[in-house]
Amino acid sequence: MKVLVTGGLGFIGSHTVVELQNDGFKVVIIDNLSNSKIEVLEQITSITGIKPQFEEFNLLDKPKVEAFFNSNKVDGIIHFAASKAVGESVERPLLYYNNNLGSLLNVLEAMLVSKQDNFIFSSSCTVYGQADVMPITENAPIKPAESPYGNTKKIAEDILNDTTNAHSLNAIALRYFNPIGAHPSAKIGELPIGVPQNLIPYVTQTAAGIHEQLSVFGDDYPTPDGTAIRDYIHVVDLAKAHIVALKRLIENKNKTALEFFNIGTGKGSSVLDVIYAFEKATNKKLNYKIVPRRAGDITEAYADTTLANTELGWKSEKSLEDALGDAWRWQLQQK
């Protein structure tokens, strides 16, 4: 079985490539290295002992995408390639709409032309905005996006809905909660460019002395300790969810042409919970201060994972402390 992984040298993509290879799949990666490093390819190879086929080009280059699908028959496509910085998307919306939606359209059109099927899409819980009910099920209302980044995920799901209705394409959109951690080998992990916007890389960089202090964005939320709650899922557990979703399509077990699954742990953790868990997992004291809320942040989001558990037969296995310990060991590998 051969699988195309777009954005396969990125954070979630690289961990998914490792799990695909562990599961016996042949993997071909397309990545334009805009938010990843070529060294990740050799790190994947050193973990699994198998070097994935690698094609370096931009999915916005439509002739290149068509040529790839004409010369590569694959059993499935896992589409990670996208820009994903929320703040940057607010400053540069057209970059996000063009990159995230243009690349998606090129891949889908080439799939239809070359009659290739089985599409796994990297979506996000951000489509729910601040959901009214916790935990969040797949039937929770889709809310107006809080950022152009989030809107590209929402629009992409609409594109998949219309395309799977009109053509014989089967797709699963995995709505990730908050992916964190790194591979236990500490050979691959998150590689934030510049100052990290996300909590966990900022935590590990503060513990490593790269930053003086972590700012906790707000302790006046209506939550038990006043800090915002998220569902932090280990990136290896998240990667494994892609394998079961892909197999569901390859084995024609999907019940509708487009399916959605919330991929989280089902457990909410506050920012302070994360800090205490990090200190416990690493025996490192973390220097932090409370500052005002960050604009656009929601109070609370954690997944109802019943559908993924029952339909996909998948559930997360690693704990918050496992993920924080792995993130720290990965941080220690950084020059």
Contact set with ligand WQD (CB under 6 A):
84, 86, 124, 126, 178, 197-199, 202, 214-217, 228, 230, 271, 294, 297
The count of other CB atoms within 10 Å of the CB of residue 49 is 8
**Which lies closer to ligand WQD via its Cβ, residue 249 or residue 271?**
271
User: Which single residue is written with the structure tokens 């790194």?
Assistant: 182
CB of 323 to ligand WQD, least distance (A): 12
Q: Which residue has its beta carbon closest to ligand WQD?
A: 228
Cβ atoms of residues 99 and 79 within 8 Å: no
Cβ atoms of residues 227 and 90 within 8 Å: no
CA–CA gap between residue 256 and residue 271 (Å, rounded): 37
Dump the DSSP string for 262-304: EES-S--EEHHHHHHHHHHHH-----EEEEPPPTT--SB--B-
CB of 208 to ligand WQD, least distance (A): 15
CA–CA gap between residue 333 and residue 190 (Å, rounded): 12
3-state secondary structure of 48: helix
**Which lies closer to ligand WQD via its Cβ, residue 20 or residue 238?**
238
CB of 280 to ligand WQD, least distance (A): 18
CB of 192 to ligand WQD, least distance (A): 10
**Which lies closer to ligand WQD via its Cβ, residue 170 or residue 178?**
178
Look at residues 268, 234, 259, 245 and name the one whose alpha carbon lies nearest to residue 314: 245
**Which lies closer to ligand WQD via its Cβ, residue 45 or residue 197?**
197
CB of 147 to ligand WQD, least distance (A): 7
Q: Which residues are tagged catalytic? A: 149
Instruction: Tell me the HSE value of 269 on the side-chain side, using a 13 A CA sphere.
Output: 24
| Amino acid of residue 332 | L
**Which lies closer to ligand WQD via its Cβ, residue 75 or residue 297?**
297
DSSP structure class, residue 29: E
The count of other CB atoms within 10 Å of the CB of residue 209 is 8
**Which lies closer to ligand WQD via its Cβ, residue 74 or residue 281?**
281
Six-digit token string for 215: 């700012």
Q: How many residues does the chain have?
A: 335
CB of 306 to ligand WQD, least distance (A): 22
The count of other CB atoms within 10 Å of the CB of residue 114 is 15
CA–CA gap between residue 139 and residue 129 (Å, rounded): 13
